[in-house]
Chains A and B, each alone.
Chain A
């Protein structure tokens, strides 16, 4: 009975795994097909496979340019979020006062504000400050995403004993040195979690950049929209473009995998 139920769980897991991977298969498989091949059968393997879609998509997307824009915006925004939210969480967690508790509550409640409700007035404000560009976008991401990051960091910080700060203080470290040399490295697992959450959100974001960025600073998701006209949809090129745009995220994930798992399970057991 026990073996049977184990087998059942295994089979169920396999089915869920296949369902999970299926969209990914669809994207990659169809990215190697001609438009005719896609409409003939979406599910079939590409026969014959063509790499031409990638070359055309690469050109149409202005891939190097848009990849650079995506990378600059994502990396800078995430670094800014990590730096600001970890510092803010450190200050809020270590300075126990009614003010800091109130501020933390404010940050947490800010997570409940829907982005759509503020996007128009905010874009107007940034526009009047001549900040409708990638730098303005970075600050917007900082504002929108640091609430969750502060909340996550604050939880981890509460498990770091205050004796760490005091030991470093006794040894002559300044407040900044304590944060930078002791606390920030100890937050690494959570930093990776914060980074991956924000990288995925920012890398894939379409709506906010579409409101803020001038065409010259378009990111990959914005460029991708060129494949979808009013009358024609170039699925073969779009899917090749999507595959190309996924590659950097997968590379990051593979590098950070060890930390992500640790970040997710950290504190679960003693």
Chain B
């Protein structure tokens, strides 16, 4: 068991003017499942590769326990890594793929066999040990890649978008299997993904990144309920948060384009105290906090908007209403019993206690 510390880590590639990763500061506790999430090019894979030792750290320290690992070779870091494209050796059988690391380290043959067979049993690969990767399905290949990491019994597991090549159904299944595996092994897992649903469902804590910088570190619930800025609020949650440019006036937010709703009492007090009365700001509300049922309209009489439905998607229990309020597009996730046709004009109630407000210039969360 080991704690990890990334202390003000920077990465700049040769020939680049800007840092690809800036001031990355993170402490990982024993046995934590950490997910790095963010859009493409945000530096999450680069950070993972610095932890693995596949990229040099330009500035700052990476520590495992008390030991600074910056200049330790990847093979000596006691790390197992699962790659996005699995990186299975096509000329070797599943058994040989899984045993490769142990054989290289000249592990006892009997012990290697035992460990590979145990990993294969856990992952349901026992019947496939003598097959080559080409004769396996995508899900089975993914399991072999995981198995190769498991047999090493490393202190730290790094997973670089391991599910991105799988179809949706298999992805859900493998998600659960990886979470179970983490519980079973009790090791540190660092998992990189651009899929926020994967991040939300698997992580103990999520590190959300953008443009090479950490935006927020927290549990999935913290990130969902208390985003620190507009980027996090927009990234976490699916579909993403709706944003409106508004002005706060006399307890109401308005955009002169069909939006005029009352701010919830507690939030209004904070906004006024922080000097936003009469100023422009960004108002965010999640699609699931917009309701079209009659009872909601009655409950929130001061927070009703009238919008036009442009596209309606029936997802089963819920419907997505892609709507327009004046010139602003937004999405409402409503109960599918309140299904509406495109072109319908309907009233919707905003659950204002769950609204978020962001400074228009800094995009930091006000409340």
Contact = CB atoms under 8 A, between A and B. Distances in A.
B87 A166 contact: yes
Contacts of A164: 87, 89
A21 interface: no
Label chain A's interface by main secondary structure. Answer: helix
Interface stretch (B74-82, B289-297, B326-334): B74-82
Nearest to A188: B91
Interface in A152-189: 161, 163-164, 166-173, 177, 181-182, 185-186, 188
Contacts of A172: 75, 101, 104-105
B99 to A, nearest CB: 10
Contacts of A182: 89
Interface string B49-66: 000101000000000000
Contacts of A171: 75, 100-101, 104, 148, 152
Given A171-B152, A172-B75, A166 B54 contact: yes
A42 B50 CA distance: 74
Nearest to A177: B104
Interface string B63-105: 0000000000011000111011101011100000000110011
Nearest to A171: B101
B77 to A, nearest CB: 8
Contact of A161 (B79, B85, B101, B105): B85
A166 B74 CA distance: 9
Interface string A179-205: 001100110100000000000000000
14 contacts: A163-B84, A166-B81, A167-B83, A167-B87, A168-B100, A169-B75, A170-B101, A172-B101, A172-B104, A172-B105, A181-B100, A185-B89, A185-B91, A188-B91
A186 B100 contact: no
Label chain B's interface by main secondary structure. Answer: mixed
A173 B76 CA distance: 11
A170 B52 contact: yes
Contact of B87 (A161, A177, A188): A161
Q: How large is the interface on B (under 10, 10 to 19, 20 to 34, 35 or more residues)?
A: 20 to 34
Contacts of B87: 161, 163-164, 166-167
Given A172-B105, A177-B104, A186-B91, A166 B75 contact: no
Contacts of B52: 166, 170
Contacts of B54: 166, 169-170
Identify the interface centre among A164, A166, A167, A172: most chain B CB within 10 Å of its CB: A167
Contacts of B75: 169-173
A169 B75 CA distance: 6
A163 B83 contact: yes
Shortest beta-carbon contacts, A-B, top 9:
A171-B101, A167-B87, A163-B87, A172-B75, A185-B91, A163-B83, A172-B104, A170-B81, A173-B104
B62 to A, nearest CB: 15
Contacts of A161: 85, 87
A167 B141 CA distance: 15
Contacts of A166: 52, 54, 74, 81, 83, 87
Nearest to A166: B54
Given A167-B83, A172-B104, 9 more contacts: A161-B87, A163-B84, A163-B87, A164-B89, A167-B87, A167-B148, A169-B74, A170-B74, A172-B75
Nearest to B83: A163
Contacts of B90: 186
A122 B75 CA distance: 46
A177 B79 CA distance: 19
Contacts of B85: 161, 163
